[in-house]
Amino acid sequence: MRERAHSTIAEGTLAPSELARFEALVLPHLDAAYTLARYLMDNDDDAHDVAQEALLRALKYFDGFRGDDARAWVLAIVRNACHTWQRTGRSHPVAVEFNEELHSGAVGDEHPEAALLRAADREAVRGAVAALPLEFREVIILREVQGLSYKEIGEIAEIPVGTVMSRLSRARRRLARALSSVARERS
């Protein structure tokens, strides 16, 4: 058992209409916020805490939000919170077992075949995603799980669109390699 992150916000600092605006614009993206946190953090508890901290931060600074893309705005806050947690080592021991040998992908330059990818199961896919370095993992999640455009991903991850594409490309190569090597091991 461990303590949940605590809210540190002052009470009664936003007008009711601002709170209504927060509910209308930001809360619909709570699932997306949690999804990003869950894939960037190593376990459920960390994901819960970091998402909560990020949403409270969003609430606190909401009166400064004047843009038109609340989803990208809140995802950027979540993403930054995840990075901070990872950097400061607040996260808990890695729950996903990661077998370095299995995922190191020493398959050479040949293209893994689509059939091998089709055979990938849940455990293999989750393991391969979890094994990606954070900067590759975030672009994959934002693109493949959350369906964001390169422009949105670039805004969230604070990188140019060209870098979004090259990171996606490298992340996919790593995933394909890891998944086909798992499949080969098994066959």
Partner 1 sequence: MTCKDFEAQLDAYIDNELPPAVVGEMTEHLDACAACARSHERQLALRRALTQHAPALQAPPGLRASIRQAIRAQIRPAATPRLPEWRWLAAAAVLVGVVAGTWRVATTRARAEALTDALLASHVRSLLGSHLLDVASSDQHTVKPWFNGKLDYSPSVYDLAGRGYPLLGGRLDYVANGAVAALVYGRRQHVISVFLWPAERGPTAGPATVTRQGYHMLHWIAPDYAYWVVSDLGSTELREFTQLLQRADSAAARPDGR
Distance CA 97, CA 95 (A): 6
The residue within the footprint of partner 1, chosen from 87, 90, 111, 186 (CB under 8 A), is 111
The residue within the footprint of partner 1, chosen from 131, 146, 154, 155 (CB under 8 A), is 146
In this complex, which beta carbon is closest to partner 1, that of residue 90 or of residue 151?
A: 151
**N- to C-terminal Cα distance for the chain?**
41
Tell me: does residue 108 bind partner 1 (CB under 8 A): no
Closest CA to 45 of 95, 97, 98: 95
Closest CA to 47 of 87, 5, 98: 5
Stretch 50-79: interaction string toward partner 1, x if CB under 8 A: -xx--xx--x--------------------
Buried b / exposed e along 130-150 (16+ C-beta atoms within 10 A): bbbeeebbbbbbbbeebebeb
Tell me: does residue 150 bind partner 1 (CB under 8 A): yes
The answer to whether residues 29 and 71 touch, using CB atoms and an 8 Å cutoff, is: yes
- Which residues inside 151-170 make contact with partner 1, applying CB under 8 A? 165, 168-169
Residues at the contact surface with partner 1, assessed by CB under 8 A: 4, 7, 9, 11-17, 19-25, 27-28, 30-35, 38-39, 44, 48, 51-52, 55-56, 59, 111-115, 117-118, 120-122, 124-126, 129, 140-141, 143-146, 149-150, 165, 168-169, 172, 175-176, 179
